Structure 1
Amino acid sequence: MVYDVKVVCDLEFTAPDGKPLLLDLYLPMGADKPLPVIVWLHGGGWRIGDRKLGPDFRVRFAERGYAMASIEYRLSGEALFPAQIHDVKAAIRWLRSSANEFGLDSGKIGLWGSSAGGHLAALAGTTGEGILDDLGLGCTDFSSDVQAVVDGYGPTDFLQMDAYSYKEIAVSSDPESDLLQPTLQHEDKNSPESQLLGAPILSVPHLVKKANPITYIKNGLPPFLIMHGLSDTAVAPHQSELLYQALIAKGNEATLCLIEGLGHAFFNKNELDDNGPYSASIRRAGDGETEYIRNREIKIFEMVEEFFQKHLLGS
């Protein structure tokens, strides 16, 4: 079924230091039960971008029966880490607090992030309620737990990024990638990771550990779908492999999808699946079973929707 979509813009979910942070809600109309929610976290190296940077949220995936919430968070030029993850968790709590008003299912919230947003999605998914929460941002009676996570090419261990980075620079047509200064080493003082933490990453290993999603992995986390292009020159695919291996080592359900021929920030491209299918290697682990498929032909948005359908719609 394809739903008509109502968009509710500029909803304030918190106001750190008096600055309102906003989200937009894309709501399928006429659903006969509360709506599962997918929260979109934009990319941009934690220093550029806003909640408008991403695919068409009507199509991906409000018209398919999901409430889509595209949120903003404080950028690194405004506030250093952990402000960004505090904002993400405040948005999750706010959505739960507003579930009755907007017809949302507060027990079915998923995260979908691109690049820096993928890092924040993974971090929110691995920490869960009570870790890296700032309850001073409001809605203290509600949980920041989520039920599913899609991480698109997000960093997971800052100190391993340079060792596995590609040295050649690919031509990009994506505005997010064009502004990420891929010529910089991640250890440089002006890299996105260093600017997020307020110092060169090698000089603040304690902050790097705090910012790395893999630091917090334990058993019982929500299922993860991790997607990465094998031609990514901004964030090496090794970062996604690290996250996948750490998740399954603790017995969590996870899927890693490494895609031939794609670079960084592909989730921003509405026409992505029109140019597919793409050849991918897929690894899955969960419920005591493992699977490894080479050269599977996939459509990327279809795979994301199937993941959320399984874990948020239960079908």
Structure 2
Amino acid sequence: MKFRTVLLVLLSLCLASQVSVAQESPPAKTAQKKQGNLKRKKKTPALPSGVELLSDIEFSTPNGMPLKLDLYLPEKRTDAIPVVVFVHGGGWKNGSKAVALNRAAWLAQHGFAVAGISYRLTDSGQWPDQIDDCYAAVRWLRAHAADHGIDPEHIGCWGTSAGGHLVALMGTRPYPGEEQVSSRVQAVCDWFGPTDLLTMPPNMLGNGRTEEDIANSNGAKLLGDTVRDIPDVAKDASGLHHVSKDDPPFLIIHGTADPGVPLSQSERLHTALSDAGVDSTLVKLPGAGHGGPQFNAPEVREAIVQFFTRTLKRSN
């Protein structure tokens, strides 16, 4: 199978800031400019033109907790269309499905459905709850495909940071049990996600990190303990350790100056996929950090459209 490593040189510069592991650079806080008693709030991103939104669709209720998704659809469509599941970042402890509106809803303008999903954060669940929720979203979309004009045989996923970690697992780690409806995906777009929790710097001593720091890391909160104490669990929660020849195509995008998730996390996943014969493309964004404007550049969006078009759309 073909595999690629790409170095994109973009015109815009990304001002990287220090962030905790697997936590995407957060969107700017609501701007409030005080002029006397006047407060002006930043507007909510508008729905892209030609796109309709079905919001707050409940797809699962693990332990009585309702999980919902937002479904973005092209207003004009005839045949069944592929769907891309968008998984938000936030260190597994923060974030919302609403991020998909600004980050991924534009894909609906190119003939895809986009499902921004919620999943249990670490204040309400530990591994493997998060990936199980992602599987559940895929199964729901596949089971209800006819209701929304979705092609159940062509489902992709896209995630950023902690969401990138989860989508890599959606592509490499089959659901560990019998399923009446499959949770497998046919394409994965991973943005700067941790792929090997055993070697993520915040999970290891060194560079001033203490035992207390490791115990309070996002990874420890996800797993329920430090990776040193439960290495088998950390391995199970790492996409790198599940790679096989049966995995779907991957598009991996990572900034070369990422201070939160080392570029090597994506490089190692790409190498493992390629060695297994999987179609994998690695795009390195020079100078980009853990998110930032370079990831919104036209060249990056075009790469995403081409990838999902090639892997998910039926050829005539």
Determine which of 176, 190, 193 is the counterpart of 1:151.
190
What's the secondary structure of 1:264's corresponding residue? Answer: coil
CA distance in 2, matches of 1:102, 1:78: 30
Q: Is residue 296 of structure 2 the alignment partner of residue 272 of structure 1? A: yes
Shift, 1:4, TM fit? 1.6
The answer as to 2:228 corresponding to 1:202 is: yes
Secondary structure of 2:194's match?
coil
Q: Provide Cα deviations, 1:221-241, integer angstroms capped at 9, x if missing partner.
A: 100001100111010100001
Provide TM-score, normalisation by structure 1: 0.78
Q: In structure 2, what is the equivalent of residue 228 of structure 1?
A: 254
CA contact (8 A) 2:88 2:159 kept: yes
Select 2:93's aligned residue among 38, 47, 55: 47
- Shift of residue 304, structure 1, vs aligned partner: 0.9
> How do residues 78-117 of structure 1 correspond to structure 2 at under 5 angstroms?
78-117=124-163
Task: Tell me the C-alpha RMSD between the 2 structures.
Answer: 2.6
Moved more, 59-68 or 227-236: 59-68
Deviation per residue, 1:8-29 (Å, 9 max, x gap) = 0000000000010000000112
* Aligned residue in 2 for 1:247: 273
Over 3 Å counting, the alpha-carbon distance change for 1:98 and 1:270 in structure 2 is farther
State the structure with more CA Rg. Answer: 2
Distance 1:120 1:47 in 2: 13
CA distance in 1 between counterparts of 2:214 and 2:170 reads 26
Q: Contact 1:152/1:228 (CA < 8 Å) preserved in 2?
A: yes
Shift of 1:51: 0.3
Structure 2 residue 307 is matched with structure 1 residue 310: no
The residue identity in structure 2 corresponding to 1:127 is: R
Q: Cα deviation per residue 1:55-111 (whole Å; 9 max; x = unaligned)?
A: 526752111111000000000111100000000000000000110100100011000
Residue aligning to 1:212: 238
- C-alpha change, 1:56 and 1:101, in structure 2 (3 Å) is same
Distance apart, 1:52 and its partner CA: 1.1
- 8 Å contact kept, 2:89–2:161: yes
Query: Following TM superposition, by how much is the alpha carbon of 1:185 offset from its aligned partner in structure 2, in angstroms?
Result: 9.2
> Quick one: distance in 1 between partners of 2:288 and 2:132?
31
User: Which of residues 152, 156, 167 in structure 2 aligns to 1:121?
Assistant: 167
1:248 Cα deviation after fit = 1.1
Return the structure number with greater relative CO, CA threshold 8 A, min gap 6: 2
Give TM-score scaled by structure 2 length. Answer: 0.78
- 2-side partners of 1:58 and 1:212: how far apart? 24
- CA 1:83/1:164 → structure 2, altered by over 3 Å: closer, same or farther? closer
What pairs with 1:154-165 in structure 2 (closer than 5 Å)?
154-162=193-201
Deviates most, 78-87 or 48-57: 48-57
The Cα of 1:264 is off from its aligned counterpart by 0.6
Unaligned runs of 5+ in 2: 1-47
Cα distance, 1:3–1:33 mapped onto 2, change above 3 Å:
farther
5+ residue gaps, structure 1: 169-182, 275-298
Runs of at least 4 residues off by over 3 Å: 183-187
Among candidates 192, 215, 224, match of residue 218 of structure 2: 192
Give me the whole-angstrom Cα distance separating, in 2, the residues matched to 1:301 and 1:249. Answer: 27
- The aligned residue for residue 278 of structure 1 is none
Q: In structure 1, how many angstroms separate the alpha carbons of the residues matched to 2:210 and 2:301?
A: 30
Which residue pairs with 1:5 in the alignment? Answer: 51
Q: 1:143 to 1:271 in 2, by over 3 A?
A: closer
CA distance in structure 2 between the aligned counterparts of 1:155 and 1:108, rounded to whole angstroms: 25
In 1, are the aligned partners of 2:93 and 2:122 still within 8 Å (CA)?
Answer: yes
Q: Aligned pair count? A: 266
**Cα 1:52–1:246 shift into 2, 3 Å:** same
Aligned residue for 2:297, secondary structure, equals helix
